[in-house]
Amino acid sequence: MKRGSLRELVVIVVVALGLALLIQAFVVKPYRIPSESMEPTLDIGQRVLVDRVGNRFSDPTVGDIVVFKPPAGAEQPFGEQCGEPPPEGQVCIEGTPEKAGTTFIKRVVAGPGDRLRIDDGHVIRNGVRAREPFTLPCGGGEGCTFPREATVPRGEYFVMGDNRGSSDDSRFWGTVPRDWIIGGAFATYWPPKRIGLL
């Protein structure tokens, strides 16, 4: 191979890598599903694409699946995760003020100003039971019912996993500030049999 051709090949590879890194940093980011909390919608090990551009121009809406940084402590086992312990029978609203170093993926179930309570894993938003055919039953455990209504603060989002009995989510560690949301998951690309739009 001639020296000019080798130099050209190196430049092409460097430019391609640079473009790939820019796209991942600012446009679309791949994300691997780490747990069963979003089953049956997303399985462990499945991979999704996250839109980072749209996140800059519009706010998440109820039903969106988002990747975000949760409040610090959310990555710990169930227990003392809430920043401000809620009254008995109410979900955690006020998480810790610092964000965790890890990323989570969950579904937005309530937005700023929404009032919500949880009945056997089902969201009751503004007095109306949400239509959620994509969820797995909660199973009647300790985190399935929160009868006391709470209001989502301005600029924050309440997120839950679709697998309501096996999801560590806003019920336990609080709402997610808008600035901590990385983007919305819009498609799956692995495994091949699960390729499609969300």
**Does 37 qualify as catalytic in the annotation?**
yes
Active-site pick, 69, 106, 167, 170: 106
CA distance 71 to 103: 10
Residue 141's CB is within 10 A of a number of other CB atoms, namely 12
User: What is the DSSP track for 35-99?
Assistant: SGGGTTTS-TT-EEEEESSHHHHS---TT-EEEEPPBTTTTSPSSS--SSPPPTT-------SSB
Q: Burial-class residue 190 by CB neighbours within 10 Å (0-12, 13-18, 19+).
A: middle
Residue 64's CB is within 10 A of a number of other CB atoms, namely 23
Active-site pick, 29, 37, 69, 170: 37
**Does 106 qualify as catalytic in the annotation?**
yes
Q: Show the CA angle centred on residue 127, arms to residues 122 and 132, nearest 5°.
A: 30
CA distance 17 to 70: 30
Catalogue the active-site residues.
37, 106
